Structure 1
Amino acid sequence: MAELITTARPYAEAAFSYAKEQNKLSQWSDLLNNLALIASDAVMAKLIANPSVSNENKVSVFAGILGADLTTQAKNLLNAMAENGRLNAVGQVAQIFGQLKTAEDKRVQAYVVSALEPTVEQKSKLSAALNSKFNAQVDIDYQVDKTLVSGLRIKVGDWVIDNTAHTQLQKLRAAIAN
């Protein structure tokens, strides 16, 4: 997976640069998400991986499905990826593009898992703290996991705070074992 993300990054950055220059970030985001959805289909994944199918045919399948929604520039991106044997990274291109767009929009996605449903006041305080920490508008997705017993886990990109009872007990167990 890490290799595909590394492979996908230059394509995503090029698409992002072009889309930003053309003031079409939302359109490109939607288009790349549609391409990723198509590429994630099991039959399409087999077609992409099949070396006996020409690159032109692989790209034409994408074009046939999207029809007029596939712009010339997006088709050029697919052709470049196909020529370099990188069509299997379309999903990661869409993912990285989405991250770049989110950063450009000064928006950040956070995932909070807690043992109990947070109150409105707790959500407000957490939102304010995360907005301040990341200097961006933080969209928070809350989930309840009763197996955590108490505490919460916050994940924003690669940044993670895990203050759950489960994690604290694991740390204590490890400390006692050493």
Structure 2
Amino acid sequence: MAELMTIARPYAEAVFALAKDEQKLADWSEQLANLAVIAGDDAMQAMLENPKYTADNVVSVFEGIMDSGLSAEGKNLLTAMAENKRLKALPEVADQFEDLRAAEEKRIRATVISARKPTVEQKKKLSAALNAKFDAEVEINYEVDESLIAGIKIVVGDWAIDGSALTQLNKLGAAIAQ
């Protein structure tokens, strides 16, 4: 995972700089999201791993699927990544681009993992609290993980808080074991 992040970073930064200069952040977000879905497909993964397919073959498949949704600059990105055998990093490029875009637009992306699906009222309270804490518009992605038993985990960039019952029980078990 860390290797993909390292591979993806220069591509994401280059695309972000281009998109920002051309004022096409939203267009690039959509294009990269679509390319990431294609690159993540099992059939495409098999094609990327098969040495009989050239970079041109792979780019042609992306072009065929994307049709008019692929810009000339998008094709250039695909070509460069295909020639360097880096297309597996496309989903990470899309994620890093979105992080850069969110920072540029003074938005923050957060992930909230809870044992149960939160109610509308809980979502409103959590959103207000995170917006106040980070003094920015926080976009929250909600996930459910029943193994937490109860409580929530919140991850915002490098900042994280774990208020899950599972973690508290694990800490209690470790304390008792000492």
Give matches, 1:47-58, under 5 Å.
47-58=47-58
Distance 1:47 1:147 in 2: 36
Q: Give the unaligned 5+ runs of structure 2.
A: none
- Is the Cα contact below 8 Å between 1:115 and 1:148 reproduced in 2? yes
- Is the Cα contact below 8 Å between 2:99 and 2:109 reproduced in 1? no
Normalised TM-score (structure 1): 0.86
Deviation at 1:115, TM superposition (A): 5.3
Deviation at 1:148, TM superposition (A): 4.3
Deviation at 1:113, TM superposition (A): 3.7
Deviation at 1:88, TM superposition (A): 1.4
Partner of 1:38: 38
Please give the secondary structure, in 2, of the residue aligned with 1:85. coil
- The CA deviation string for residues 102-153 of structure 1, in whole angstroms up to 9 with x for no partner, is 2222222323344574673x55443333123223101234556666454332
Partner of 2:139: 139
Identity of aligned residues (%): 55
Give matches, 1:89-100, under 5 Å.
89-100=89-100
One-letter amino acid matched to 1:165: A
Give the number of aligned pairs.
Answer: 177
- Is the Cα contact below 8 Å between 2:113 and 2:145 reproduced in 1? yes
Give matches, 1:119-158, under 5 Å.
120=121, 123-142=123-142, 148-158=148-158
Distance 2:4 2:138 in 1: 27
Deviation at 1:74, TM superposition (A): 0.8
- The CA deviation string for residues 29-59 of structure 1, in whole angstroms up to 9 with x for no partner, is 1001111111112111111122221111111
- Is the Cα contact below 8 Å between 1:81 and 1:87 reproduced in 2? yes
Please give the secondary structure, in 1, of the residue aligned with 2:4. helix
Cα-Cα RMSD: 2.2
Is the alpha carbon distance of 1:141 and 1:75 closer, same or farther for their aligned partners in structure 2, counting shifts above 3 Å?
A: closer
Q: Give the unaligned 5+ runs of structure 1.
A: none
Partner of 2:103: 103
Distance 2:40 2:146 in 1: 32
